[in-house]
Amino acid sequence: MSDAPPSLSPLDETWERALCIVAHPDDMEFGAAAAVARWTGQGKQVVYCMVTSGEAGIDGLHPDECRSVREAEQVESARIVGVDEVEFLGLQDGVIEYGVALRRVLAEVVRRHRPEIVVTGNFHDTFGGRNLNQADHIAVGRAVLDAVRDAGNRWIFAEQLTDGLEPWGGVREVWAAGSPLAEHGVDTTDTFEAGVDSLRAHGAYIDGLGWENFDPAEMLEGFGRATGTRMGVTFAAPFEVFPMGWGD
C-alpha cells in the first residue's frame, strides 16, 4: 500500500479580486507568494493586509525601529509579485487575540476591499507535524473566517456602515495557504522564481532569525516540489478551501 499523500485539486481561478489577510510581513512569502504572482500575471487584483507590522520579529532590533524596516521589506516583497497595495493594521505583534475585537477590525477591511476570494495562512495548531504554529497565525486565521461572514451581515458591526461603506457578502471562499489539511493547490512552476525573490526581499528579517546557511530558494523548492508532486507539476502551493456559501 502506498503512503503517498493524496493528489490535490486545482483551485477555481475564475475570480478577479482577492484580499490576503495574514498576521505578519513574510507570512505570504513562505510558500504562497508564487501563487500570488501567478494570479497578478493573469490580470487579477490582489491586495495584502498585514494585521501587525512584525515589529517583534527581530531580537536585536527594537520594535519601534523594526516596524519601519519590516513594513518596507513587505512593500517591496509584494511589488515583486505584482501587488501594489499593502495595508498595515498596526495591531501589536506577538499578542494578537482571537475574539470580537479582531473580527470587527477584519470585517471592516473586507467591507472596504470587497474581495471574491480571501487568502489567509494556516491556522491549525501545527503544520502537520509536531512543530507548533505561532499564536498570531492561529488567531488571525480563525478570525478571518468569522470576519468574512460578519462582513455580509449589516446587523453585525453596524456602526461601520457610514460614509458609503456597505455590507459585503460576496466572498466565495477563504483559502488557507500552507494548511496541513489542504486538498487543493496552485501550479506555481512558472512563477516559482518570483516567489523566491519575494522571500529574499525580507533580508533583515531573515538575517535576524539567525538561521545558519538559510537559502530561501532551497527551502521553497523543498515545499514546492513536494506539493507539485501531488498535482503532477514541478512546483505548487497548497491551500485548504473554506466555502462561504450555505450548503457548500
* pLDDT confidence tier of residue 236, bands split at 50, 70 and 90: very high
Q: Which three cell numbers stand for residue 115?
A: 474581495
pLDDT given at position 35: 98
Answer positive or negative: Cα dihedral of 163, 164, 169, 172: negative
What is the layout of strands, in order, in the sheet containing 86-88?
Answer: 9-10, 184-187, 236-243, 173-177, 117-121, 17-22, 45-50, 86-88
- Could you tell me which of 179, 231, 175, 165 has the C-alpha nearest to residue 10? 231
Average pLDDT over residues 48-69: 97
Residues 110 and 19: their CA atoms lie apart, in Å, by 8
Residues 104 and 37: their CA atoms lie apart, in Å, by 29
pLDDT tens digits for range 6-24: 999 999 999 999 999 999 9
Residues 125 and 207: their CA atoms lie apart, in Å, by 26
Residue with cell 457548500: 248
pLDDT tens digits for range 160-176: 999 999 999 999 999 99
pLDDT at 247 over 70: no
pLDDT given at position 5: 86
Residues 129 and 126: their CA atoms lie apart, in Å, by 6
Burial of 92 (0-12, 13-18, 19+ CB in 10 A): middle
- DSSP character at residue 71: H
